[in-house]
Amino acid sequence: MTRALRRVAETLLVLLVLSVLTFLLTSLAPGDPAEEILRRGGVQPTAESVAVLRGELGLDRPLFSRYLRWLLGVLRGDFGRSYADRAPVAAEILSRVPATLRLAGTASLIAVGLAVLVSVRAALRPRALDSRIARVVTVAVAAVPPYIVGILLISVVAVGMRALPTGGDGSPGAVILPAVTLGLAGTATLLRLLRADLAAVARLPFVKLAVAKGLSARRTVMVHALRAAAPGAITAAGVVLAELLAGAVIVETLFAWPGVGQLAVTAIRQRDIPIVQAYVLLTALATVLVLTLADLCVSVADPRVRR
Amino acid sequence: MDRSRRGTRFPISAGTRGGVRPGARAVAVLGVAVLAALAACGGQGSAGQAEGRLVLAAPRDLAAGPEDPYFTHRTLRVWEPLVTLDDEMRPAPALATGWERADRGRRWTFTLRGGVRFSDGTPLTAEAVVANIERFRRIAPRPSAFFSLDAGMEAAYGKLAGVRAEAGKVVFTLAEPVADLPARLADFYSMIQAPSAFGPGGDFTGKPVGTGPYTLASWSKGQQVELAANPGYWGGKPAFDRIVVRTIPDANARVAALRAGEVAGLIDKGALLPGQVAAVAADGRFRVTRTPSVLTHYLTFNASRKPFADPRLREAVDLAIDRKAIAGKLLAGTAAPGSPFLSPVFGALSDPGVRSAYDPAGARRLVDAAGRPARPVSILISSSETGQFPYTDIAEVLRADLEDAGLPARVNVAEATRAVMEAGDYDLFLSAYSVPNGDPDYLFRRFLRSDAAWNRDRNLGYRSDVFDRLIDRAAAAGGADERRELYHGVQRLLADDRPMIPLAYQDNPVVTSTAVTGLVQSPAYLVDLAKLAPSR
């Protein structure tokens, strides 16, 4: 119980530090939001109208008082209003969360599924041709940025075969290409960890005992070794899921996927700071939550950690 | 070491018995699942153009929502203005069929088109027009995703003393004479919608209610707008019943959607990047339309410090630049080399007598005479502009051109060019300027007049009484000929003084599939969706 409380206190402290960093970094970033907003139509605004808008947005107040106002708002769930279209930021982000979750969820299913599949296969038959190919492909995919993978998938599957849409969220299949792009990026990380873990577990006495008992290779790997390797994999999966949330920014822009990441990119371009701040803070919060959740799962899966 | 390497092999792998291997079976299952999914979502075919329905794409949202002063971009043709611009940026009739000037430009009377109804069925009246103008004046200054109600608004309505309905006509009374009021009101600034569309604060209460050929059927931010043909349109029902404009921000993804047949065209500013045009134009399925735009690439001098306080060195830069290479190669032929300050889209106001020259030897002589600067000159570009145009490459070519002329240079890519310029820490600034309403007074008064905030705060160091007097006279000039002569004089003066020099006049290439005809684009990136029709 005290451990849980300490964990909560730690998390809160992390979030407070995050809020300061988020606010400072976004507010001190170069570029004047008032000017960027007025210039969206492509016309350079006048100094007078920039000054008026700065006053309206409260950008002329001292940094610390802006931070306090913002933090008090955030604690009430009010992230302010978008500089660009004056819509409430919280509602704007909430409306886009489902799309991002659908994308990140599908992507992590793909990442975890592929990683488990390939690593189990590699553990069973390390010398087999498909294991070797999988190894090379994994390294290759890990080395190519998701943007390039996405472009390749678009030109082959969407433009060449016309099997799936190039982007947008107009049909049920539309999630596949962005999710595969995002998922492949996660697979590489996850796969390397899982394979190493499985290999390490394979040397442990209980695995040898299982083999000696006459258990089939499949059963040994799938039931015993995989479970022993699970804690490391779950931690890794948590990190990967957090990575996916971040990676969604690029993939959502490329595939015109109406998620939080796309919103953030547009907001960064326009210096729409309230949205950027909310995005950074909420992504950080999600990451902290996912990692905490992963820790909990590990303690369930691995009795040794429970103490 | 040896053991651990061996350990990567699973010790029991040799024990697998015959039959289907688990890994292989799983791979097969996954493969089948993927294929099934692909098959299920297949058959998109040419969704870009189904019966009576057209799908286009644009780099940004063309609807901005109820808090935006206009809600939708003019391109969507949901609303129409009183006055529009023709392809030479001259005022042309839209909802006003004509206008009359009286009292040397202190009084303007606009005659309205008869028999026009808003999409809610109410008629267009002079009172409705007055309500729109008054709303604009009430809510300005106000940022917009398309056309902020600030400087241009000031140019349009700054001298307005009153506007009223008079026997079915709209009468503007002005405190001072304005010779070109219709041009200043053109397009966005004279948007007319049914007054019932606006709430008391001036925001939209629901959807926009205009008089255009299309109405806004639905809109989802960051994704698409869907338009429905307006059956009661005064100009006749448009060819497509429905038009969808999807938002695809990534340039490569946009072209991919076009190639895949998901969209039948790409429109709006920056629809195709300069580097993409050749490949798309070479594809027989598409027709690329290139029209000159209001965007010009300029090089701005910091003449408030050495070395460019010396006019000889500004001239040297002007002569050293290979504009043909910049327009033809770096901008891939999507731009024309720049000469007069006002680009050809200003029509007769652009002075054809001003010709820029490429003379590297002359540039070297000028540098020798003026003396080489002690330190390299700094070419400033904004990182936000490098996405749409190859500014890093252009700056690099400029650097090489200047070094050939004996001016050592370095390129500075900055995120916040404003701070750098206000600190005076630059010598040359490469950037794009647009004048979407085609009003040269806007450009000169806001940027180059001796008291202009841009000139003053950003250390351009341009002070010329002659220039100030010329642009003041041009703004008040009554006759078109007088005005043209004055602006030609301004451009000759600027070609000598060189506070800013035009490098290239940018086109805006847009594209449709050959199955669609009628794509026309104005210099201000406006496309008339109502003119699009399926080809026979």
Closest Cα to residue B180, out of B260, B89, B111, B266? B89
Suggest the residue from A32, A36, A49, A132 to mutate for an interface test with chain B (most B CBs closer than 10 A).
Answer: A49
Chain A residues with CB inside 8 Å of B248's CB? 167-168, 256
Q: Which residue has the higher pLDDT, B177 or B40?
A: B177
Q: Does the residue B70 lie in any domain?
A: no
Q: Does the residue B416 lie in any domain?
A: yes
Residue A253 has its nearest CB partner, among B147, B250, B415, at B250
Whether A110 contacts A239, CB under 8 Å: no
Least-confidence region, from A6-10, A70-74, A261-265:
A6-10
Question: Does residue A97 have a pLDDT over 70?
Answer: yes
| Tokens matching residue A21 | 């960093």
Q: What is the pLDDT of residues B330-389, one digit of tens each?
A: 999 999 999 999 999 888 899 999 999 999 999 999 999 999 998 999 999 988 777 778
Read off the CATH number of the domain in which B55 is found: 3.40.190.10
Chain-centroid distance, C-alpha B333: 18
- The pLDDT of residue A163 is 85
Asked if residue B438 and residue B318 are part of one domain, the reply reads: yes
Chain A residues with CB inside 8 Å of B7's CB? 199-200, 202-203
Q: What is the pLDDT of residues B8-37, one digit of tens each?
A: 344 444 333 334 444 455 555 555 555 455
Asked if residue B288 and residue B230 are part of one domain, the reply reads: yes
Q: Which B residues 60-89 touch A at CB under 8 Å?
A: 64-65, 67-68
Token pair 């053109």 is found at: B186
Please enumerate in sequence order all residues whose Cβ is within 8 A of that of B242, keeping only pairs 6 or more positions apart, or say none.
B52, B53, B54, B217, B226, B227, B228, B229
Asked if residue B317 and residue B217 are part of one domain, the reply reads: no
Please give the average per-residue pLDDT across B481-489, as a whole number.
93
| Complex-level ipTM | 0.79
Asked if residue B114 and residue B52 are part of one domain, the reply reads: no
What is the helix (H) or strand (E) element at residue B472, kind and residue range?
Answer: helix B465-476
Task: Tell me whether A22 touches chain B (CB under 8 Å).
Answer: no
Question: Does residue A243 have a pLDDT over 80?
Answer: no
Write a three-state SS string for A175-231: HHHHHHHHHHHHHHHHHHHHHHHHHHHHCCHHHHHHHHHCCCHHHHHHHHHHHHHHH
Chain B residues with CB inside 8 Å of A203's CB? 7, 11
Distances (CA, A) of B85 to B159, B236, B271, B342, B438: 21, 21, 21, 17, 8
Instruction: Calculate what percentage of chain A has a pLDDT beyond 70.
Output: 96
Asked if residue B360 and residue B392 are part of one domain, the reply reads: yes
Asked if residue B257 and residue B304 are part of one domain, the reply reads: no
- The pLDDT of residue B369 is 94
Residue A163 has its nearest CB partner, among B15, B41, B433, at B41
Asked if residue B300 and residue B383 are part of one domain, the reply reads: yes
Residue A42 has its nearest CB partner, among B45, B250, B434, at B434
Question: Does residue B72 have a pLDDT over 90?
Answer: yes
| Tokens matching residue B211 | 């008089």
Closest Cα to residue B10, out of A32, A37, A198, A8? A198
Q: Does the residue B332 lie in any domain?
A: yes
Question: Does residue B415 have a pLDDT over 60?
Answer: yes
Q: Does the residue B301 lie in any domain?
A: yes
Q: Which residue has the higher pLDDT, B450 or A134?
A: B450
Q: Which of B197, B219, B251 is the last residue of a domain?
A: B197
Question: Does residue A303 have a pLDDT over 70?
Answer: no
Please give the average per-residue pLDDT across B35-51, as a whole number.
52
Chain B residues with CB inside 8 Å of A205's CB? none
Suggest the residue from A166, A201, A255 to mutate for an interface test with chain B (most B CBs closer than 10 A).
Answer: A166
Residue B11 has its nearest CB partner, among A127, A211, A218, at A211
Suggest the residue from B9, B13, B29, B439 to mutate for an interface test with chain A (most A CBs closer than 10 A).
Answer: B13
Closest Cα to residue B488, out of B354, B355, B356, B357? B354
- The pLDDT of residue B45 is 42
Predicted confidence band at B524 (pLDDT cuts at 50, 70, 90)? Answer: confident
Tell me which residue range forms the domain holding B144. 75-197
Longest dimension (CA), chain B: 103
Predicted confidence band at B192 (pLDDT cuts at 50, 70, 90)? Answer: very high
CB count, 10 Å around CB of B373? 18
Q: Does the residue B1 lie in any domain?
A: no
Instruction: Calculate what percentage of chain A has a pLDDT beyond 90.
Output: 4
Three-state secondary structure call for residue B426: coil
Rounded to whole angstroms, how far apart are CA atoms B400 and A35? 32
Task: Tell me whether A143 touches chain B (CB under 8 Å).
Answer: no
Asked if residue B451 and residue B353 are part of one domain, the reply reads: yes
Q: Does the residue B46 lie in any domain?
A: yes
Asked if residue B410 and residue B298 are part of one domain, the reply reads: yes
Q: Which residue has the higher pLDDT, B90 or B193?
A: B193
CB pair distance less than 8 Å for A262 and B416 = no
| Tokens matching residue B252 | 């490569």
- The pLDDT of residue A204 is 81
Question: Does residue B309 have a pLDDT over 60?
Answer: yes
Task: Tell me whether A269 touches chain B (CB under 8 Å).
Answer: yes
Whether A131 contacts A174, CB under 8 Å: no
Most confident range (mean pLDDT) of A173-177, A274-278, B324-328 is: B324-328
Chain A residues with CB inside 8 Å of B249's CB? 253, 256, 262, 265-266
Asked if residue B419 and residue B363 are part of one domain, the reply reads: yes
Please give the average per-residue pLDDT across B225-229, as a whole number.
96
Task: Tell me whether A85 touches chain B (CB under 8 Å).
Answer: yes
Residue of A nearest to B245 (CA): A168
- The pLDDT of residue B351 is 93
CB count, 10 Å around CB of B449? 20
Distances (CA, A) of B444 to A249, B147, B152, B178, B452: 40, 19, 12, 16, 9
Region for A162 from its dihedrals, namely left if φ exceeds 0, alpha if ψ lies in -120 to 50, beta otherwise: left
CB pair distance less than 8 Å for A48 and B13 = no
Region for B246 from its dihedrals, namely left if φ exceeds 0, alpha if ψ lies in -120 to 50, beta otherwise: beta
- The pLDDT of residue B44 is 43
Please enumerate in sequence order all residues whose Cβ is within 8 A of that of A28, keeping only pairs 6 or more positions apart, or say none.
none
Rounded to whole angstroms, how far apart are CA atoms B492 and B497? 9
Please enumerate in sequence order all residues whose Cβ is within 8 A of that of B262, keeping only pairs 6 or more positions apart, or say none.
A158, A165, A166, B44, B47, B48, B55
Q: What is the pLDDT of residues A212-229, one digit of tens each?
A: 888 887 778 777 777 777
Rounded to whole angstroms, how far apart are CA atoms B418 and B253? 32
Domain count for chain B, please give it.
Answer: 3
Distances (CA, A) of B198 to A85, B132, B209: 16, 9, 9
Q: Does the residue B3 lie in any domain?
A: no
Asked if residue B527 and residue B466 are part of one domain, the reply reads: no
Q: Does the residue B286 lie in any domain?
A: yes
Read off the CATH number of the domain in which B302 is found: 3.10.105.10
Say if residue A98 is preceded by a cis peptide, omega within 30 of 0: no
Whether B146 contacts B73, CB under 8 Å: yes
Give the CA angle between residues B323, B325, B329 to the nearest 5°: 135
Q: What is the pLDDT of residues B111-152, one digit of tens each?
A: 999 999 999 999 999 999 999 999 998 888 888 888 888 766
Suggest the residue from B8, B12, B219, B448 to mutate for an interface test with chain A (most A CBs closer than 10 A).
Answer: B12
Asked if residue B33 and residue B175 are part of one domain, the reply reads: no
Rounded to whole angstroms, how far apart are CA atoms A206 and A307? 22
Question: Does residue B172 have a pLDDT over 50?
Answer: yes
CB pair distance less than 8 Å for A164 and B259 = no
Q: Say how many residues make up chain A.
A: 307
Residue of A nearest to B24 (CA): A121
Question: Does residue B50 have a pLDDT over 80?
Answer: no
Question: Does residue B6 have a pLDDT over 70?
Answer: no
Q: What is the pLDDT of residues B249-287, one digit of tens each?
A: 888 889 999 999 999 999 998 899 998 999 999 999 999
Domains of chain A as residue ranges with CATH: 15-89 (no CATH), 103-305 (1.10.3720.10)
Distances (CA, A) of B19 to A121, B16, B22: 15, 9, 9
Rounded to whole angstroms, how far apart are CA atoms B211 and B221? 23
CB pair distance less than 8 Å for A207 and B68 = no
CB pair distance less than 8 Å for B30 and A172 = no
CB pair distance less than 8 Å for B7 and A199 = yes
Chain B residues with CB inside 8 Å of A29's CB? 415
> Over the range B259-283, which residues count as b (16 or more CB within 10 Å of their CB) and which as e?
bbbbbbbbbbbbbbbbebbeebeee
- The pLDDT of residue B350 is 92
- The pLDDT of residue A235 is 79
Question: Does residue A307 have a pLDDT over 80?
Answer: no
Q: Say how many residues make up chain B.
A: 536
Long-range contacts of A223-232 (CB under 8 A, 24+ apart): A225/A123, A225/A198, A225/A201, A226/A116, A226/A120, A226/A198, A227/A301, A228/A201, A228/A204, A229/A194, A229/A197, A229/A198, A229/A200, A229/A201, A230/A301, A230/A302, A231/A298, A231/A301, A231/A302, A231/A305, A232/A193, A232/A194, A232/A197
Least-confidence region, from A161-175, B330-344, B476-490:
A161-175
Question: Which string of DSSP letters, residue by residue, matches B117-133?
Answer: B-TTSPBP-HHHHHHHH
Q: Which of B163, B197, B231 is the last residue of a domain?
A: B197
